[in-house]
Amino acid sequence: MNTRKRFALAALALCGFTGLAQASDVNVEVVPYQYGMRLDVAKVISMTEPPTSRCEVVTANMRYINKAGELAEISYQKHAHACMYEN
């Protein structure tokens, strides 16, 4: 594979990541998750939770693209990441 083809492949790969970065900057309505709610997730963009050093229940967010190609976000309750390190 010559240099020109490698450069073209690298540029195309970076274009995909740029689209995801732009999608994460768009403001969307955060919908609180309710038990039994159907999720229409085609691709997860990000999963975030507030930082905490204690094991507690936190409100986390999941930003995703649905099967129609639209950006959506839900919030849900979960144990903090810190709970993985406590006995």
Convert the pLDDT of each residue in 13-45 to its tens digit: 765 655 555 555 679 999 999 999 999 999 999
- For residues 33 and 78, is the Cβ–Cβ distance under 8 A? no
Q: Is the dihedral of CA 82, 34, 48, 16 positive or negative?
A: positive
Does the pTM of the predicted model rise above 0.85? no
| Token representation of residue 56 | 């507690």
Convert the pLDDT of each residue in 41-60 to its tens digit: 999 999 999 999 999 999 99
Convert the pLDDT of each residue in 55-81 to its tens digit: 999 999 999 999 999 999 999 999 999
Question: What is the predicted pLDDT for the residue at 72?
Answer: 97
Could you give the domains of the chain?
Answer: 3-85 (2.30.140.50)
